[in-house]
A and B are shown apart, each in its own frame.
Chain A
Amino acid sequence: MSKAKTDGAITTTQPVKFYQVGSFAVGNRLVDPSLRTVQADAARTNAITSGHRACQGCGEALGARYVLDAAMRATGGKLVAVNATGCLEVFTTPYPETSWQLPWLHSLFGNAASVATGVAAALEVQGRNDVRVIAQAGDGGTVDIGFGCLSGMFERNDDVLFVCYDNEAYMNTGVQRSGATPPAARTATTEAVGREPGNPFDQGKNLPRLAMAHGIRYVATATVADLHDLEAKVERAMDFRGARYLHLLVPCPLGWSSAPADTIRIARLAKESGLFPVFEAVDGEVTAASGIRRLVPVEEYLRLQGRFRHLFDSSGAVAKTDIVARLQKLADANIERFGLLQPEVT
């Protein structure tokens, strides 16, 4: 707000462009429809239609619809999706039903990237460069068993957007640890016992940074909590040819033991605490990061999730202060590395 003072008379000037919910909500009746998200559009693709069998409040079901609806708009509906095994495949296609509203192929747990490469090559041979290819997998299918195929796809720069729906464990088979499971999290294979309960520190892989190290054109991270940001990234990814990678944080109420209603809230806190940095990288260099708007300590994020319950006492106060401090350090390092508290970065 700018205030000009003259002899006791106050005059103020305000820009009128204020839309009550800013650019945070899904839609906004006060702005031009072109400025609203794809999800605000009653005619969106609904790539995964109703009746799918994902748990109540599943972040992965939501995230996949967000990504594919945006990609469908960006490509004018000319899109093929290749899916690895995992919840996303299982809950959408129990034989003989399907929820998919676009051409969709299932492959194996570990080879979605290679199958997508094949689809892209086949289209290329047919001269159908207008049809675009997305490969999608859970974090297990991306950072663990699928990593060899994915690394090859990156190296060859195949014309595929690979999307990882990161719910931080192997959910479909009962919540086993993956290379994307965060330290201290309890899973079926990292129980909350011993001196360092849950998943050990200093393990796991940072796939976005590994993707950047391959020098591919475009790498981005996002969460289901910021739809405008996510859709813009999908659209941008579709502007590039060659290998691209999108890493999307999708809370899982079952595996994280969180309230189904809190799925988006938890994703928001992951970003606002600094634990999950949201950024974009072009040709291996970070070009933009989403700044933190309302900084919170990591415990606010952890407290809502049963997989971290062993860090708190029965009243909800932090019990394992040393472990929470180590997690806070990880968040602080992200804030530092990506400049998440500088208002200039958007």
Chain B
Amino acid sequence: MEKPFAITLDVGSSLANKTGSWRVERPVYIDRLPPCNDACPAGENVQGWLYYAEAGEYEQAWRQLVQDNPFPAVMGRVCYRPCETVCNRAQLDEAVGINAVERFLGDQAIEHGWSFEAAPPSSGGRVLVVGAGPAGLSTAYHLRRLGHAVVIYETGATPGGMMRFGIPKYRLPRDVLDAEVERICALGVELHLNRKVTDLPATMRDDGFDAVFLAVGAQLAKRAYLPAGDSAHILDAVSLLHSMEGASPPRLGRRVVVYGGGDTAMDAARTARRLGATDAVVVYRRTRERMPAHDVEVEEATDEGVLMKWLSTITEVDEGQILLEQMVLDDKGFPQPTGRFEKLDADCVVLALGEESDLSLLTGMDDVEIADGVVQVGPDLMTGHPGLFAGGDVVPAERTATNAIGNGKRAARTIDGWLRGETPREPARHELAGFEHLNTWYYADAPKTERPRLELVRRTSTFDEVVGGLDETNALFEARRCLSCGNCFECDNCFGVCPDNAVVKLGPGKRYEFDYDYCKGCGICMVECPCGAIVMEPERA
């Protein structure tokens, strides 16, 4: 073709110019570990299920959640929320109400009758689980999903462990607990109630199990010697709370003193208020700051009129009255007696000094190490006895239902590996998605949604649930407060901000891809990614 004056070349596209050759660093998409996931004792993929909840895909969210934890409705009520403590959003306005959304999903599942995917037929090992508390039930759930036959032996007439015989109804309604336990049993778990294991070696031998998970918790109340008159009324918190499940609640009198500073003490005092005590006083030998009870528990108890007496020990109990000695904290923070005494009216004293495990069933198993009253295990939760695993309150760990559930999951994995003769590989942990990785400019301001609470009058006269749930509207709102730390949520920023059109959008759910033919490696995408899901890596020579 004849070319105009001074033109010698045909018109070409700049696409011929592969500017990717300029690059010294290349952007790479990564997934970082959100702090909530990192902190969850049950190993939940919190960010993962919030991602579905944000879009209103509640069933999908629930299914993602129960990959790790079969108790969302229970957890959404009683978990002490380590996830919210570390939530990055707290540094922006307030932590995401993860627990409230979890409860919403759990309640939706119960309401709509969502069930677990059917477990594969039992083809692997046959595993005995001793104890149907959260640890035992969680292991059973995960083992069934891995294709093993599971048999649970439980002393009690109903399953649930301390979720039923410890945590009061006003925090965990029993129909909620029942629904989640039944759903686990429906996976084909063989649950034998009223079946106490007294001689574990014999049971293992006679009933032919390939492996055992010991999840007997800590059922025995710790006692303390208190000089007491004959007619002094003393009982322990574990029995008090346990008896609440029976037909006739115990009589405590009008003035009740609870001795101890843990969550159990708070529940005992709050229960006493509901049983008609006008005065419920918690006596603790140290200070508020040193109290092991969680803040929410103390606040809710105080709201309900429970009184606290710090820096005091009980030295004598008599009918209608007790004697307290005042304490001071020494340099190391230990309480020391002052020699100053005071009297306090009390119709009864409830001891909430902690719980111990009954390990008599292990008699004769010399290879199982016991220290400080609990069973010692390795990181795989196996005891010194091959094939005997243990978790929950019976091993040294934080005594929470959440931790027990997490132990159950971990044990199921290691038991599965042990039965197959493999060491299960720990899934690789991604680098933490700390706040410094986020570009928070892109998140709109949105304060947290508070859960409704029951009126105070009804909190001291009934066992109705205190904390209400979120409705669809505010659960969705709350889920959308998630920053999706470290995980792409398809905001299109990288796709939009690239001056070289070197980001390819792959379509909903498929995220993006870099076109390294043209990417010059400027790094704008990395800086403008809201959630820190892009890193720059040195270009290979």
Contact = CB atoms under 8 A, between A and B. Distances in A.
Nearest to B520: A56
A227 B496 contact: yes
Interface in B106-163: none
A227 B492 CA distance: 12
Contact of A18 (B444, B508, B536): B444
A36 interface: yes
Contacts of B349: none
B493 to A, nearest CB: 5
Contacts of B219: none
B480 A30 contact: yes
A67 to B, nearest CB: 13
A9 B452 contact: yes
B496 A53 contact: no
B496 A27 contact: yes
Nearest to B459: A8
Contacts of A193: none
A14 to B, nearest CB: 5
Contact of A9 (B14, B455, B508, B520): B455
B19 A50 contact: yes
Interface stretch (B33-41, B58-66, B499-507): B499-507
Contact of B493 (A13, A26, A265): A26
A24 B55 contact: no
B452 A51 contact: no
Contact of B522 (A36, A39, A261, A268): A261
B224 interface: no
A167 interface: no
B524 A12 contact: no
Contact of A268 (B55, B441, B452, B518): B441
A92 B9 CA distance: 17
A30 B273 CA distance: 47
State the majority secondary structure of interface residues on A: loop
A228 to B, nearest CB: 11
B499 A16 contact: no
A20 B489 contact: yes
Interface in B408-467: 441-450, 452-457
Given A20-B54, A21-B444, A24-B441, A57 B523 contact: yes
A334 interface: no
Contacts, number: 195
Nearest to B24: A56
B377 to A, nearest CB: 41
A50 B518 CA distance: 6
A260 interface: yes
B267 interface: no
- Residue picked from B13, B477, B482, B496, most chain A C-beta under 10 Å: B496
A51 B527 CA distance: 22
Interface in A13-38: 13-16, 18-30, 36-37
A99 B497 CA distance: 18
Interface string B167-195: 00000000000000000000000000000
A26 B528 CA distance: 10
Contacts of A262: 527
B270 interface: no
Nearest to A26: B496
Given A14-B474, A50-B15, A9 B499 contact: no
Contacts of B492: 25-28, 36-37, 39-40
Contacts of A39: 492, 495-496
Interface string B82-123: 000000000000000000000000000000000000000000
Contact of A14 (B449, B508, B526): B449
Contacts of B395: none
A97 B15 CA distance: 8
Given A26-B492, A50-B501, A96 B449 contact: no
Contacts of B12: 96-98
A15 B493 CA distance: 26
A96 B17 CA distance: 11
A59 B499 CA distance: 7
Interface residues of B, number: 68
A13 B515 CA distance: 45
A340 B17 CA distance: 43
Contact of A12 (B15, B54, B450, B482): B450
A11 interface: yes
A176 B457 CA distance: 76
A318 interface: no
Given A8-B455, A50-B501, A56-B522, A37 B449 contact: no
Contacts of A125: none
A187 to B, nearest CB: 22
B491 interface: yes
A52 interface: yes
A139 to B, nearest CB: 18
B528 A49 contact: no
Given A49-B13, A50-B500, A51-B13, A7 B456 contact: yes
Contact of A42 (B442, B505, B522): B505
B16 A97 contact: yes
B499 A62 contact: yes
A12 B523 CA distance: 42
Contacts of B453: 8-10
A12 B528 contact: no
A263 interface: yes
Interface in A81-128: 92, 94-99
Contacts of B473: 14, 16
Given A22-B443, A50-B14, A30 B524 contact: no
Given A21-B443, A26-B491, A52 B454 contact: no
Contacts of A265: 527-528
B14 A28 contact: no
Contacts of A37: 492, 496
Contact of B14 (A14, A15, A97, A259): A97
Contacts of B11: 96-98
A61 B527 contact: no
A262 B522 CA distance: 9
A56 B22 contact: yes
A227 B442 CA distance: 12
Interface string B1-44: 00000010111111111110010000000000000000000000
A11 B469 CA distance: 11
Given A12-B474, A50-B19, A262-B527, 9 more contacts: A1-B448, A18-B481, A25-B442, A26-B491, A30-B55, A49-B13, A97-B16, A261-B524, A261-B527
**9 nearest A-B residue pairs (beta carbon):** A22-B444, A27-B492, A26-B496, A261-B523, A51-B14, A57-B522, A39-B496, A96-B9, A50-B518
11 contacts: A1-B449, A14-B477, A15-B477, A26-B492, A62-B524, A65-B499, A97-B16, A260-B524, A261-B524, A261-B527, A265-B528
